[in-house]
Amino acid sequence: MNQYLKQSVTVLKGIGEETAESLAEMKIYTVEDLLEYFPYRYEDYRLRELSEVKHDEKITIEGKVHSEPSLTYYGRKKSKLMIRMFVGQYLIKVVFFNQPYLKSKIVMNETITVTGKWDAHRQTITANEMQVGQNTKTTDFEPVYSLKGKITTKGMRKFISIAFQQFGQYIEESLPLTLVKKYRLVDRNSALKAMHFPVNQEDVKQARRRLVYEEFLLFQLKMQALRKFEREHSPGIEQNYLETKVEKFIQSLPFPLTNAQSRVVSEILNDLKSPLRMNRLLQGDVGSGKTVVAAIGLYASVTAGYQGALMVPTEILAEQHAESLKGLLEPFGLRCELLTSSVKGKRRREILQQVSEGTVDILIGTHALIQDEVTFKKLGFVITDEQHRFGVEQRRVLREKGENPDVLFMTATPIPRTLAITVFGEMDVSVIDEMPAGRKAIETYWAKPEMLGRVLSFVEKELVKGHQAYVICPLIEESDKLDVQNAIDVHTTLTHHFQNRFKVGLMHGRLSSDEKDTVMKAFSTNEVQVLVSTTVVEVGVNVPNATMMVIYDAERFGLSQLHQLRGRVGRGSDQSYCILLADPKSEVGQERMRIMAETNDGFVLSEKDLELRGPGDFFGKKQSGVPEFKLADMVHDYRTLETARNDASLMIQSKTFWTRKEYQYLRNQLENTGVLEGEKLD
């Protein structure tokens, strides 16, 4: 936007320092911010027939007062005012809370108009507004803003109206005419106006449609410009791996690769060979066989004369990966070493030494890998597992380690497409969407907590067959301490229950890594048959003999996390089971349990999860890099998102985007974000 709109809100008549301060609390600093501060909903004042109105819906309705108002006080300063009212032939009740002054305005047999929420069961409107006489509102819709400080709804509407009067003429069209025409969008000025002063619902709809597209388009332009510039400004290594050796390695695996694995392997090998730097996300459901794919890539890089690194979020996972990579790669003469914070003293110094000399080919570990003390002789390929746990910033730090190594991010959390292109929009994406043949689907059941007895006998049946079981304990978001206590309690109960028959182990985040190690070893060697644990076993853990997973308080987990947990079983050739102990009160909670029981497809679950929980919660943690949009909603507006993405991609690739005047506005937006400042990217 232009300079006029970038001025402080204090240039508006009637906005002084004090008001400006309140507006600042709402992150409104400039005229432009004010114009783009959209209502979060609209009050609907259309008159409707009672028969059209659903339970709990908001209505505005005229009627004739049919009883004297009765006013009762309760508590301190709380009151309830009740009348009966005739609406057509219906007699309904109208209740006003804490507006005792209305009593004097209500007169028997007079017409009044009330606005409120319709309770169809009680035939009652809980009203928040009343007007004597017929409805005289001139607009059907009034915007409702989320407000802070001393700002009132009325005030807000006035400020925005003044902003339009003083500066409306400076609102420019942001989109090229071709796009406005192509999608039949309303122009920017009208769209902004309609958001704040709509005449009817259709106005809002059209305004929103346009602004959502614009918001997504700008976002995607930034992402794709970033991607283009990262590519062009960060040359990678042309890794000339030895094709015959890599081929031989693949042939030597105990199984043929699935089609999906083969496809992804060739995408990765192409990236390695290319002189551009690899920046790729690999998604594959739990058990889809990502480790082998990683091993092939790492092996290829080593045959090209480079070292590789594999970074994972937990020590347990690091150990397991180290073990499987050693198993796969050492027979081919590669040296793989593990580096975590528990590798100390002389051993640590040795490993660091050998990594810097280049005698270690593959280094596997936790965050420790990207600390300064670790120097590689010739780092060519970095792989991270469960990358969504690392933030955008860490992704960048990692890419900057070594001399432009190729980077592959792996995740077992299938990421819904919309999130993948927003959160990871600057990357190339590979997907393993096929399971190795012969896997048995895990059977999942939802049981109420009072069925615990029966659940435990089911567990016992599996144990008697010589199998093992995981029992995952309640997740209490606020407190790690409470999580641990829960696990301890369940452990005590189960130890007692399986007394003299089976051994029950306990695993939680407060154990030292030595203790964790001991517990995990005891479970993987079947010295312990039941493992009670908090969610620390979530990722990577591999005990094929475990066929039973019981999850307490399953309603507290997101679908994706439940799916991850469930993925701990079903790793061997035997039928596995997952039991969700849950008593969700909400519709959504129950729906989640049903979906879990119905499908084993991680992608289906992730889409559902996104729908039910929203993008912010999807990754379970804040600062996950999920962008915040003013108006757009990634879930509901995903079609627009895809359209915008395609358009952005075409624009960024075309020459005209960088030269033509009609793209000026969009180009300016990119400049303001620093995306186009090449220095920042190097």
Tell me whether residue 257 or residue 666 sits nearer to ligand ADP (CB atom): 257
- Among the listed residues 220, 224, 283, 288, the single contact to ligand ADP using CB under 6 A: 288
**Contacted entry of Mg ion, ligand ADP, none for residue 176, CB cut-off 5 to 8 Å set by kind:** none
- Among the listed residues 116, 143, 198, 236, the single contact to Mg ion using CB under 5 A: 236
Q: Per-residue string for binding with ligand ADP, 382-421, x by CB under 6 A?
A: ------------------------------x---------
Q: How far apart are CA 475 and CA 299, in angstroms?
A: 39
Cβ neighbours for 646, distance < 8 A, ≥ 6 positions apart = none
CB 172 within 8 A of CB 1: yes
DSSP 37-84: ---SEEEE--B--GGGPPTT-EEEEEEEE-S--EEEEETTTEEEEEEE
Position 258 contacts ligand ADP (CB under 6 A): yes
Which span sits near ligand ADP by CB under 6 A: 28-36, 286-294, 368-376, 493-501?
Answer: 286-294
Cβ neighbours for 3, distance < 8 A, ≥ 6 positions apart = none
The minimum distance between CB 310 and ligand ADP, in angstroms, equals 12
Tell me whether residue 59 or residue 296 sits nearer to ligand ADP (CB atom): 296
Determine the residue with CB nearest Mg ion: 236
Q: How far apart are CA 468 and CA 451, in angstroms?
A: 20
Position 286 contacts ligand ADP (CB under 6 A): yes
CB 66 within 8 A of CB 84: yes
Compute how many other C-beta atoms are within 10 angstroms of the C-beta atom of residue 620: 18
The minimum distance between CB 293 and Mg ion, in angstroms, equals 17
Position 507 contacts ligand ADP (CB under 6 A): no
**Contacted entry of ligand ADP, Mg ion, none for residue 292, CB cut-off 5 to 8 Å set by kind:** ligand ADP
The DSSP output letter for 309 is E
Tell me whether residue 239 or residue 258 sits nearer to ligand ADP (CB atom): 258
Paired tokens of 331: 């027979």
**Contacted entry of ligand ADP, Mg ion, none for residue 236, CB cut-off 5 to 8 Å set by kind:** Mg ion
| One-letter amino acid of 320 | Q
Beta-bridge partner residues of 384: 311, 409
The minimum distance between CB 286 and ligand ADP, in angstroms, equals 5
Position 289 contacts ligand ADP (CB under 6 A): yes
CB 127 within 8 A of CB 72: no
Which span sits near ligand ADP by CB under 6 A: 151-159, 287-295, 365-373, 660-668?
Answer: 287-295
Position 570 contacts ligand ADP (CB under 6 A): no
Position 257 contacts ligand ADP (CB under 6 A): yes
Which span sits near ligand ADP by CB under 6 A: 283-291, 301-309, 375-383, 548-556?
Answer: 283-291
For the chain, the 3-state helix, strand and coil shares in percent, each to the nearest 5, are 45, 20, 35
Tell me whether residue 297 or residue 414 sits nearer to Mg ion (CB atom): 297
Q: Per-residue string for binding with Mg ion, 263-282, x by CB under 5 A?
A: -----------x--------
Which span sits near Mg ion by CB under 5 A: 77-85, 228-236, 419-427, 515-523?
Answer: 228-236
The DSSP output letter for 439 is P
**Contacted entry of ligand ADP, Mg ion, none for residue 406, CB cut-off 5 to 8 Å set by kind:** Mg ion
Tell me whether residue 433 or residue 647 sits nearer to ligand ADP (CB atom): 433
Tell me whether residue 260 or residue 596 sits nearer to ligand ADP (CB atom): 260
Question: How close are the terminal C-alpha atoms of the chain, in Å?
Answer: 29
- Within 473-515, strands assigned E span 504-507
**Contacted entry of Mg ion, ligand ADP, none for residue 12, CB cut-off 5 to 8 Å set by kind:** none
Q: How far apart are CA 358 and CA 298, in angstroms?
A: 15
Position 297 contacts ligand ADP (CB under 6 A): no
Paired tokens of 513: 């890594």
Position 266 contacts ligand ADP (CB under 6 A): no
Q: How far apart are CA 280 and CA 573, in angstroms?
A: 32
- Among the listed residues 114, 163, 171, 292, the single contact to ligand ADP using CB under 6 A: 292
Question: Of 257, 625, 557, 203, which is closest to residue 432 (Cα–Cα)?
Answer: 257
Q: Per-residue string for binding with Mg ion, 309-348, x by CB under 5 A?
A: ----------------------------------------
CB 196 within 8 A of CB 211: no
- The site that binds ligand ADP (CB under 6 A) totals a number of residues, namely 14
Q: How far apart are CA 430 and CA 55, in angstroms?
A: 46
Position 287 contacts ligand ADP (CB under 6 A): yes
- Range 146-154, long-range pairs (CB < 8 A, 24+ positions): 146/26, 146/40, 147/26, 148/22, 148/25, 148/26, 149/21, 149/22, 149/23, 149/25, 149/26, 150/18, 150/19, 150/22, 151/19, 151/22, 151/23, 151/26
Q: Position of tokens 């007062």?
A: 65
- Among the listed residues 230, 406, 426, 433, the single contact to Mg ion using CB under 5 A: 406
- Among the listed residues 193, 227, 290, 508, the single contact to ligand ADP using CB under 6 A: 290
The DSSP output letter for 237 is -
Which span sits near ligand ADP by CB under 6 A: 64-72, 204-212, 216-224, 252-260?
Answer: 252-260
Position 436 contacts ligand ADP (CB under 6 A): yes
Tell me whether residue 291 or residue 534 sits nearer to ligand ADP (CB atom): 291
Give the footprint of Mg ion on this chain (CB under 5 A): 236, 274, 406
Positions that interact with ligand ADP (CB under 6 A): 255, 257-258, 261, 284, 286-292, 412, 436
